[in-house]
Amino acid sequence: MKNIRRIVKVLSTFVIMLALLGTAGATPKVIFTFDDGDTGVYFKAFPIMEANNQSGVAFLITNQVIKASGNNGWADINITEARDLYSKGWDISSHTANHYDLTTRNNTQLNMELNTSRNWLESSGFTRSYRFLAYPYGAYNSNVIAAVKNSGYLAARTVEDDAGIYKAYKLTDPDIYTMKTLMVYSFPAYGQAGEPPEVVKRKINDTIAQNGLLMLSFHMISDICCVAGVNAPEEYKTSDFKIISDFLKEKQDAGQLKVVTMSEYFGTDIPTPTPTPTPTPPPIDTTPPNITIVTPIATTYNEGTTILANYSCTDETSMKSCIGTVPNGTKINVTGAGNKTFTVFAEDTSGNNNSKTVNYTVLAQSPIQTPITVNISVSADSYVSSKAPTKNYGTATFIYVDAGRIGYFKYNFSVIPQKANISSAELHDFISWSQANGTAKMFAVTGTWTETGIKWSLRPTNESVSYGIYDIPICNTGNGDCTHMTKGFGNIVQRWVNGSLANNGFMITTAATITNSEIDAKESGHIPYISVTYT
């Protein structure tokens, strides 16, 4: 018996040493928790613990806190008291919104209980501890646990006894939502076994021995004791509570344990650096908008033509305005000759401005002119003959054109403006007699001559290159004159009219010997004329 006791004692010491060695650096921990938020926690437990440099965890029924009086006595902690506790290092955590048995709630109600409480705690500023939960009545099942996880709680405490294991939980443990505890309540007066201070002290020592975690769960700390029908079984006497707190103080001072809150224990009092993405500020737009003008372009437009404005503005963010001289799709100004501008002003929503201008020219359109046709009669005509070199034929009735005879004709175009644009000129004359078809050439005469002075021996000079062909038709029926017309006079008339060639008329000449063509001279009464059309 003695030996056995000794072995047990040696073994115990050995176990303690092993525990200490095995967790070198770690310290046994005790966490005070208080469920339901009774003001006894604030008025009785808090001062005792504060004096002993201890902080606890208050699991509050958040919807009750909102309307609580906070009075000393049978009342609930109010927000002011909760904040005071929190500021002194306490954890303010969730005991749900309304303290229902969560296993009896449907999923909607369940989530509401968990989320409402959690959100209220967080928004009230209890940020280091709002994600710890104590199940009301300790009631949970797998569905409740799933909802608790889903609501973002990190850990949850049951009312189940730790069974002397004092597990040192980590947040990653699979049973972190079913944390065990030592329920410290019940007076003997209620006929329950209860946990008098001596029992709690023993458990504290065991925790130290095992280098574990002891979670103490209290409800009401009260001086009114032990009156059946008045008190609640959850009450714990203030003086007994003080014994426990003081005992822990001794152990603390001896360096044997630490009294911590849940947030201290799990490290959530130091806000975990959640990688909050650096909010990318909205891009500061310092670039002016871009302007594209499709029309008008830098060119010359004829007055009165239809040119539609076509432009657009783009920006890296967004446009505020894009305004052209005239609205997009409408006619630009092409009225009146001269230089014009078309400008687009653009502004983006960040206030950056830009403008773009296109210079264009409007060309005045002269009124459309109706072509004018004039018939100009020959003013001088004659021919010369090699057979009579000194003879003048200016008054002859016919102009002979054949081998040895050359016809000369002159027209006065002074009625046509010098700037006129000659579009056509036709020579009309009459053939009096021609034995056969023939071809003659027409040359511009460059030397001066007169109708009554010209003769073979005084033939004027002429251009070396013929400007046209004079077709001689056959005209031998004796039934009168044949009309004749030669086109292609436009160029030569143009030169005479605009003054680039002195108007000495033209000559018609041919090498044919048998043609014996006879062109009516003005003296015949059939007066040759040139029909000139010009604008």
| Nearest residue (CB) to Zn ion, 40 versus 468 | 40
Letter for the amino acid at 279? Answer: P
Distance from C-alpha of 264 to C-alpha of 268, rounded to nearest angstrom: 6
Parallel, antiparallel, or unpaired for β 91-94 and 56-60? parallel
CB of 161 to Zn ion, least distance (A): 16
| Nearest residue (CB) to Zn ion, 54 versus 94 | 94
Q: Which residues neighbour 454 within 8 Å (Cβ) at sequence distance 6 or greater? A: 382, 384, 392, 394, 408, 460
> Tokens 């004096």 — which residue?
51
Please, what sign has the CA dihedral across residues 147, 151, 153, 157? negative
Site for Zn ion in 23-42 (CB under 5 A): 35-36
| Nearest residue (CB) to Zn ion, 177 versus 311 | 177
Closest CA to 415 of 284, 307, 531, 317: 531
| Nearest residue (CB) to Zn ion, 35 versus 348 | 35
Helix, strand or coil for residue 182?
strand
CB of 170 to Zn ion, least distance (A): 25
| Nearest residue (CB) to Zn ion, 41 versus 406 | 41
Verify binding: residue 451, Zn ion, rule CB under 5 A: no
CB of 10 to Zn ion, least distance (A): 44
Mark 405-417 as b/e (b = at least 16 C-beta within 10 Å). bbbbbbbebeebe
Question: CA Rg, the chain, in Å?
Answer: 63
CB of 259 to Zn ion, least distance (A): 22
CB of 220 to Zn ion, least distance (A): 10
Taking the alpha carbons at both ends of the chain, their separation in whole angstroms is: 148
CB of 135 to Zn ion, least distance (A): 8
| Nearest residue (CB) to Zn ion, 36 versus 240 | 36
Alpha-carbon separation of residue 51 from 47, 221, 246, 444 (angstroms): 6, 16, 9, 136
| Nearest residue (CB) to Zn ion, 36 versus 381 | 36
CB of 117 to Zn ion, least distance (A): 13
Question: In this structure, are residues 221 and 33 in contact, taking their beta carbons and an 8 Å threshold?
Answer: no
Question: In this structure, are residues 446 and 387 in contact, taking their beta carbons and an 8 Å threshold?
Answer: no
Q: What's phi and psi for 239, nearest 5 deg? A: -65, -35
| Nearest residue (CB) to Zn ion, 36 versus 402 | 36
Site for Zn ion in 32-91 (CB under 5 A): 35-36
| Nearest residue (CB) to Zn ion, 160 versus 463 | 160
- The 8-class DSSP code of residue 389 comes to T
| Nearest residue (CB) to Zn ion, 182 versus 497 | 182
> How many CB atoms neighbour CB 70 within 10 A?
18
| Nearest residue (CB) to Zn ion, 35 versus 76 | 35
Instruction: Tokens for 254, please give them.
Output: 């001896």
Site for Zn ion in 385-424 (CB under 5 A): none
Tell me which residue has its CB nearest to Zn ion.
35
Distance from C-alpha of 60 to C-alpha of 34, rounded to nearest angstrom: 8
CB of 29 to Zn ion, least distance (A): 23
Closest CA to 262 of 312, 229, 202, 215: 215
| Nearest residue (CB) to Zn ion, 36 versus 264 | 36
CB of 28 to Zn ion, least distance (A): 27
CB of 9 to Zn ion, least distance (A): 41
Alpha-carbon separation of residue 414 from 14, 182, 276, 427, 496 (angstroms): 144, 134, 97, 17, 10
Distance from C-alpha of 90 to C-alpha of 128, rounded to nearest angstrom: 10
By CB under 5 A, the count of residues binding Zn ion is 2
Distance from C-alpha of 296 to C-alpha of 344, rounded to nearest angstrom: 11
CB of 71 to Zn ion, least distance (A): 19
> How many CB atoms neighbour CB 163 within 10 A?
9
> Tokens 């001072």 — which residue?
253
CB of 96 to Zn ion, least distance (A): 9
**Which spans of this chain sit near Zn ion (rule: CB under 5 A)?**
35-36
